[in-house]
Structure 1
């Protein structure tokens, strides 16, 4: 049967961090669902460093979220991807997101988290406590406050949790995530 991957996103998701994993999953033959607060066109953003101390942000492409968080049954999915950008700041406040994310930890299914995705993971502290992960450096205080160990490397794998600093790390992140999804049993 076909593997199924869920991507959690919202407006201001980083363009490369959603498009690269989405297309890579489609290329792999996975049935891939993008979910957000509601089924709608999401606005992406482009983050880059152009001589500033922090990243700049520009408007990116639109991408369709086919489902709402409320309608997601995480048991139907074999893997979870959480892209970064500013979307994690607000999707972590959605009442359904912690339950969705918790399922993937509890079922030991592959989770890929890149950049600011760590902000979503801090809503499930019980699952990242004493776990190692990396993220965009500005998220280090939140990872540590949630009981996780922040790793300085651009990519890190701790069991089913594959994490990366930012979009330049997507090739390695997706290689490990896909390996884990392909090695896992099909959910349905």
Structure 2
């Protein structure tokens, strides 16, 4: 397997598990991952939030860890990356207002490069206008945006642990789907993990 160069888009209150776990898992199998955030330099941090499913009508939110950005958003060249990861949480809600973020997302979609988006990360895909006719899922509250952007909603299982692949796009509803979401993304990357 040739190591891939992967870009991850983060911001304050990104979902803790959805940033930390893929960041570490992808590096564990040999890929290089650059996490970037508008207005942040390498070595600066974003605050994360932990979202949990505890029986209320929606997820609860608790303070998460600090997540260190390791690349410079201002100088990032998406053409130098093989794939894109978009974690969820509250960050996508405001990141989608940044024209450069939208430009980056469109670059990966237009180039048919692998994109992994989870939870509210699909808000960036909807804002970028790259979901037309694509089968995908997201956190249930994002469904109206996903469908208005032309996406075809795929059902979520009871444990929020499933993922869908449509071409080079892999989506999942929330962090309980990490095993399926990352497995399918690694397959798109050509990564092999021997048992």
TM-score with structure 1 setting the length = 0.93
Alignment partner, residue 8 of structure 2? 7
Choose which of 146, 149, 152 in structure 2 pairs with 1:149. Answer: 152
Alignment partner, residue 167 of structure 2? 159
Alignment partner, residue 172 of structure 1? 180
Alignment partner, residue 181 of structure 1? 189
Superposition map of 1:58-137 within 5 A: 58-125=62-129, 127-137=130-140
Runs of 4+ aligned structure 1 residues displaced above 4 Å come to none
Alignment partner, residue 47 of structure 1? 51
Report the Cα distance in structure 2 between the residues aligned to 1:7 and 1:60, rounded to whole angstroms.
18
> Secondary structure at 1:96's aligned position in 2?
helix
Report the Cα distance in structure 2 between the residues aligned to 1:14 and 1:157, rounded to whole angstroms.
22
Report the Cα distance in structure 2 between the residues aligned to 1:99 and 1:181, rounded to whole angstroms.
22
> Secondary structure at 2:28's aligned position in 1?
helix
Which digits, 9 at most, give the CA deviation of each residue in 1:145-177, with x for residues without a partner?
111111113311100000000000011111111
- Aligned CA-pair RMSD: 1.2
Which digits, 9 at most, give the CA deviation of each residue in 1:35-82, with x for residues without a partner?
111222010000012231111100000011123433211111111100
> Secondary structure at 2:117's aligned position in 1?
strand
TM-score with structure 2 setting the length = 0.89
Q: 1:163 touches 1:173 (CA, 8 Å); kept in 2?
A: yes
Higher strand share: 1
Report the Cα distance in structure 1 between the residues aligned to 2:51 and 2:119, rounded to whole angstroms.
11
Report the Cα distance in structure 1 between the residues aligned to 2:35 and 2:83, rounded to whole angstroms.
12
> Secondary structure at 1:67's aligned position in 2?
coil
Report the Cα distance in structure 1 between the residues aligned to 2:149 and 2:173, rounded to whole angstroms.
18
Report the Cα distance in structure 2 between the residues aligned to 1:35 and 1:161, rounded to whole angstroms.
20
